[in-house]
């Protein structure tokens, strides 16, 4: 399940991060202490030039939308120090960090992510002019609290924290309310992996977003998904209230390939073929019992399963109806396709296609495949005239990369190296 992130208040004020080079990202100190002073800071002596600091939102602003960026800029100088405190009152005072990105010329700092609803925000900035003259600025404002309407949250997600998955695994997030401002939500979710890849999000429904890499993940690595939903405007009056983190592991690489007319499946682990399995696929008398060609991502598995064709639109009494008890089943699509043991079809294994669309195996082969399979493993199938639909199960690799980007609301890839999402200041790498 998702882990909810929070940062508790600290008694001691940490030293503010010093800006020492243009283009550096600034991590802002966050404490429970108050800021002394407010307003525009001391005026320069008359006749003496000095750096001029401005901050947005304006000092004293109230009920600032949480998705409004904080910008600190300076004229006639460069920023030397920026510290922001964001304090939420409650039964226990809670302080939360804010991060930002400094422009290459050192004159503008912009917050990376949204603010927390219902907080008091204190801004401290120090700037230095060419002559070495310094100017300090202090400002305070408040963010609007959450309204009485819906709050954006996460209903479910795949994979879950702690899961070990295959190299084809997508990240699927189901929200608990429809999302109108998809670009804002999409840009609030950052995927980071030990071996970076290029990936992107698609929305398969108003409440469901899916991330897939351009190609498969590299095996043996950790992946982290940070859903920075706090302050994100999902719809008018609907904001996120909590951040979440999802951490999972990509295991070994298992990719199976099957050319249906050959009546066999080849299973490779970490690039080495470890088993060739005689199979019998769909007899293809009709479309519904034709095995689909395409990139299948394994979804779930069962040691025992009742397969009833009524669940895929073929009710009892219709031609082609079936109800079977099967062992060692692994789901490859949502149209009723599984690999499974079929001892009643043993004479056709490796010889002929005689199933209702599933991939039939011997009991020993089916059990072996079931035991090896991870959610997210890949089965690449060719040789039939029925293509797997991109939205049939986890058929997301059925869309070309260009098509996948076309259906992303940002239209841009995200590199999973921690550099940020494409539509944020952090991701743009000012």
Q: Which residues are catalytic?
A: 340, 358
Burial class (CB in 10 A: 0-12, 13-18, 19+), 173: buried
C-alpha 353 chain-centroid distance: 39
Alpha-carbon distances of 238 from 2, 96, 111, 201, rounded to whole Å: 21, 21, 21, 21
Give the three-class secondary structure for 72: strand
Q: How far apart are CA 407 and CA 248, in angstroms?
A: 26
Alpha-carbon distances of 70 from 59, 83, 86, 353, rounded to whole Å: 11, 12, 12, 63
Of 351, 322, 321, 336, the residue nearest 393 (C-alpha): 336
CB 176 within 8 A of CB 152: yes
Phi, psi of 326 (to 5 degrees): -125, 155
Give the three-class secondary structure for 365: helix
If you compute the radius of gyration of the chain from its CA atoms, what whole number of angstroms results? 28
Q: Which residues pair with 157 in a beta bridge?
A: 173
CB 326 within 8 A of CB 336: no
Of 355, 366, 361, the residue nearest 292 (C-alpha): 355
The sign of the torsion formed by the CA atoms of 389, 391, 395, 396 equals: positive
Q: How far apart are CA 137 and CA 39, in angstroms?
A: 7
C-alpha 412 chain-centroid distance: 14
Q: How many Cα neighbours within 13 Å face the side chain of 300?
A: 8
Q: How far apart are CA 83 and CA 26, in angstroms?
A: 9
Give the three-class secondary structure for 287: helix
The residue written with tokens 């479910």 in the block is 156
Residue 21 sits at the vertex; the CA angle it makes with 19 and 26, to the nearest 5 degrees, is 40
CB 323 within 8 A of CB 309: yes
């Amino acid at each position: 399940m998702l882990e909810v992130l929070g940062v508790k208040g600290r008694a001691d004020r940490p030293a503010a991060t010093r800006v020492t080079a243009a283009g550096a990202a600034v991590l802002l100190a966050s404490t429970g202490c108050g800021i002394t002073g407010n307003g525009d800071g001391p005026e320069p002596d008359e006749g003496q030039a000095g750096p001029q600091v401005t901050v947005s939102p304006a000092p004293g602003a109230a009920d600032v939308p949480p998705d409004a960026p904080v910008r600190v800029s300076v004229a006639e100088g460069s920023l030397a120090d920026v510290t922001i405190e964001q304090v939420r009152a409650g039964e226990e005072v809670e302080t939360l960090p804010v991060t930002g990105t400094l422009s290459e010329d050192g004159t503008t700092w912009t917050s990376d992510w949204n603010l927390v609803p219902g907080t008091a925000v204190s801004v401290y900035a120090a700037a230095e002019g060419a002559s070495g003259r310094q100017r300090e600025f202090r400002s305070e404002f408040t963010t609007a609290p959450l309204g009485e309407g819906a709050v954006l949250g996460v209903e479910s997600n795949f994979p879950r924290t702690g899961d070990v998955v295959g190299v084809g695994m997508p990240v699927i997030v189901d929200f608990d309310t429809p999302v109108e401002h998809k670009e804002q939500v999409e840009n609030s979710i950052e995927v980071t992996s030990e071996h970076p890849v290029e990936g992107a999000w698609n929305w398969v429904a108003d409440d469901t977003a899916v991330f897939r890499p351009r190609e498969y993940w590299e095996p043996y690595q950790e992946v982290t998904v940070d859903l920075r939903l706090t302050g994100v405007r999902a719809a008018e009056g609907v904001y996120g209230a909590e951040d979440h983190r999802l951490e999972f592991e990509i295991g070994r690489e298992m990719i199976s390939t099957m050319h249906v007319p050959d009546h066999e499946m080849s299973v490779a682990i970490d690039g080495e073929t470890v088993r060739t399995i005689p199979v019998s696929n769909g007899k293809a008398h009709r479309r519904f019992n034709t095995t689909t060609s395409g990139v299948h991502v394994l979804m779930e598995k069962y040691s025992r399963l009742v397969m009833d064709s009524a669940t895929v639109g073929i009710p009892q009494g219709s031609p082609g109806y079936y109800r079977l008890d099967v062992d060692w089943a692994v789901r490859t699509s949502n149209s009723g396709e599984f690999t499974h043991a079929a001892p009643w079809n043993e004479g056709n294994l490796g010889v002929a296609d005689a199933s209702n669309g599933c991939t039939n195996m011997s009991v020993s082969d089916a059990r072996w495949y079931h035991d090896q399979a991870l959610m997210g493993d890949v089965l690449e199938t060719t040789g039939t005239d029925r293509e797997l639909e991109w939205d049939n199960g986890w058929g997301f690799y059925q869309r070309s990369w260009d098509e996948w980007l076309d259906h992303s609301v940002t239209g841009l890839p995200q590199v999973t190296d921690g550099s940020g999402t494409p539509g944020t200041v952090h991701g743009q790498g000012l």
